[in-house]
Chains A and B, each alone.
Chain A
Amino acid sequence: MVMSTPLPVLKKMECPNCGSPLEQRATNAQTIVCSTCGSFIAVGAEQPEVTSKSPQKPPPPPKPITLGAKGLLDGTEFFVMGRVVYTGWDARDTSDRWTWHEWLLGGADGRLLWLSFDEKGFTLYKKMRFREQFDPATARALPLGNGAQAMIRERYPARIVGAEGELTWKATAGEQLFVAEGAGQGKRYSIQKTAEEMEIHEGVPISEAMIAAAFGDENWQKRAVSSGGRTGGIPTRLMIGILCVLFAMIAFVVGSFAGNSQGNIIGEQRQVNLTQSANSVDVPVNISSTRRPHSVTLTVQTSASGSFPITVNIVDPTAQQRLVFSQTMSVAGGTASGEFVPFRSGEHLLRISTTSTSFDSATVTVAVRRGLWTTSWFTTYAVIIGLIGGFLVISGLGRMSGTTKG
């Protein structure tokens, strides 16, 4: 059950736009949003005045937090003064927009706190002082004093799209600001800049179950706990990014095995000799799987006194010959490999030849493997999906820091 004993009314007035009764309960309220007509009304001057009007009612709160509700956080009592709904957007792609909610909490000790809720869950923010000069438009890091820093993850324009209750500044519907979000030292930081002012707030993530407990809402708390204590949904792009990175890692692992894991289809590794007089040798290979890549690996030991060119062709049952690879070996020999895709099944010949005249003999160990998938395919796939995943993860993490204060 939410603690909802109403605070005493400090001042009563009428909405200058629609005449509905308005009540001020917070001593430091500067704006009251009329719940009837949505007008933003500046209070604190001799006469309340309408500063703006929201074209539509704010979207309902995403969590059961009501205006005037009381709670207890960190041993301090507070009550919910108001709620502001913000929309932020990517300055380079204005179709990329997101919305978050912030509740303004008035503490019994007079301090104001902002409880932000977005796709990463709840964060409780309080105001702090800038330690050093900081440019939210360009700086990569936010100085926190004593050499500590918070990394700036995202910056974007935002505006107020709706509000309710009482606010502590002369708010207007559509009010625009520039936001930079950072994280470091286990905390989150939100910087807001207008032409006249820069503010910074420091936040700590709080689980939904803790927020529910703070408001004394047992049913909500049970729901939050049963949902695994999640503080909020993981951003879609972050989730996709993580999956992409995971697939890329799997692809790398599988790829590293792929080239070696298939059996040698010519039985044991075959050893053949090349000489000056017999500088071309055919190795029979029985192909059963067509249109699948096969790998050929040669290990060459030679007495050549110079470089040693070696060529490998595959001859299919119709006597058609195709190059598999051609490579110049070093004097001491070495390993060479290539791939081919057979289009026919049956007996093939792997034709190994050299044009070198600077050797007496060479011993060539031949292995042919049926590569259902090839290492290079996996590697290419892994790199592409890894890059996409990395971009999405970075972008998603940046988006997760997308909270701000009014």
Chain B
Amino acid sequence: MAQMSCTSCGAPLQIENQFVRSVTCNFCGSVYQITGDQGLDSVGKTTSLANYPSRLHIGMRGKIKDMGFTILGRVRYTYEQGFWDEWQITWDDNSPPSWLEEDEGYWTLYRREKVRAAIPDYDSVKVGSTMQVNKHNVFVTEKRRGKLMGSEGQFAMWLPMQTSFGYATGTANNQAVSINYWENEIELSVGEDLEPEDMVML
């Protein structure tokens, strides 16, 4: 657990584990990328989410299907018709962190999947159509552009501080599939719907 300081306000920044690539100062909202030499690169500021009400909070522990986890960070994305929150969780068994997404109170646990074949470009994606992504035949149910609005905590990725990004979500074999079209990367995640009894907060 490395201890650093926010270069903007001097508040302490504590890096929780080896997966962390970004950290947000809880006091001033400054966002840092963690560089290879364990240094900090300030990449800008986001809105601090500390004052936005939520049922979960950073540091909260829980279990998903008996696998223990801790909430590491929270990021809020905005889109034209609203916003959504994603929670970065880190597993007790040290497996790579996952994202928890809540939609109308229904939780989906996303795990990243390597892109193994060409993915249709963002402009060609159409809501209501089907597209092949790796082995998944994805029925596209949503296509929008989003933007990072705020964050708190730590993340296993560099936070997308760019202006906006495209994303498409859909369903394949009763699994959720999410594709984020970042500026320099396409990120594919496959999600599993969680039943209420699957997730227990401790």
Contacts and interface: CB of A to CB of B under 8 A. Distances in A.
A302 to B, nearest CB: 71
B128 interface: yes
Interface stretch (A107-115, A269-277, A314-322): A107-115
Interface in B35-69: 47, 51-55
A135 interface: yes
A45 interface: yes
B82 A199 contact: no
Nearest to B48: A46
A197 B141 contact: yes
B105 A196 contact: no
Interface string A164-207: 00001110000000000000000000000101111100000000
Contacts of B53: 10-11, 24, 27
Interface stretch (A89-97, A123-131, A339-347): A123-131
A45 B104 CA distance: 19
Contacts of B52: 44
Given A45-B149, A129-B171, A130-B139, A195 B104 contact: no
Interface string A104-148: 001101111000000000000001011111111000000001000
Interface in B73-119: 76, 78, 80-83, 102-106
B159 interface: no
Contacts of B142: 196-198
B55 A44 contact: no
B106 A111 contact: yes
B130 interface: yes
Contacts, number: 84
Nearest to B140: A198
Contacts of B82: 30-31, 42, 44, 168-170
A196 B176 contact: no
Interface string A205-240: 000000000000000000000000000000000000
Nearest to A175: B81
Nearest to A405: B104
A30 B106 contact: no
B196 A111 contact: yes
B104 to A, nearest CB: 4
A127 B102 CA distance: 12
Contacts of B55: 27, 110
A109 B81 contact: no
Contacts of B129: 133
Given A44-B82, A129-B171, A170-B82, A197 B127 contact: yes
What class of interface size applies to chain B in its complex with A?
20 to 34
Contacts of B51: 11
Nearest to B150: A46
Interface in A1-41: 10-11, 24, 27-28, 30-31
B139 A132 contact: yes
Contacts of A197: 127, 141-144
Given A129-B174, A131-B174, A193 B128 contact: yes
B16 interface: no
Contact of A195 (B78, B105, B106, B127): B127
Interface in A151-172: 168-170
Contacts of A133: 128-130, 139
A31 B76 CA distance: 16
B81 A170 contact: yes
Contacts of B83: 30, 44-45, 170
Task: Pick the most buried of B47, B104, B171, B196: most chain A CB atoms within 10 A of its CB.
Answer: B104
Given A129-B176, A132-B139, A193 B47 contact: no
Contacts of A132: 139
Nearest to A109: B196
A135 B128 contact: yes
Task: Pick the most buried of A24, A42, A131, A197: most chain B CB atoms within 10 A of its CB.
Answer: A197
B141 to A, nearest CB: 5
A168 B106 CA distance: 13
A332 to B, nearest CB: 66
Nearest to B127: A198
Nearest to B193: A129
Given A45-B83, A112-B104, A145 B128 contact: no
A51 B83 CA distance: 14
A24 to B, nearest CB: 7
A130 B173 CA distance: 9
Interface of A: 10-11, 24, 27-28, 30-31, 42, 44-46, 106-107, 109-112, 127, 129-136, 145, 168-170, 193, 195-199
Interface of B: 47, 51-55, 76, 78, 80-83, 102-106, 127-130, 139, 141-144, 149, 171, 174, 176, 193, 196
14 contacts: A24-B53, A45-B149, A110-B105, A111-B105, A112-B104, A127-B103, A129-B174, A129-B176, A130-B171, A133-B129, A170-B81, A197-B142, A198-B128, A198-B141
What are the 10 tightest A-B residue pairs by CB atom distance, in nearest-first order?
Answer: A111-B105, A170-B82, A10-B53, A110-B105, A112-B104, A170-B81, A30-B82, A27-B53, A197-B142, A198-B141
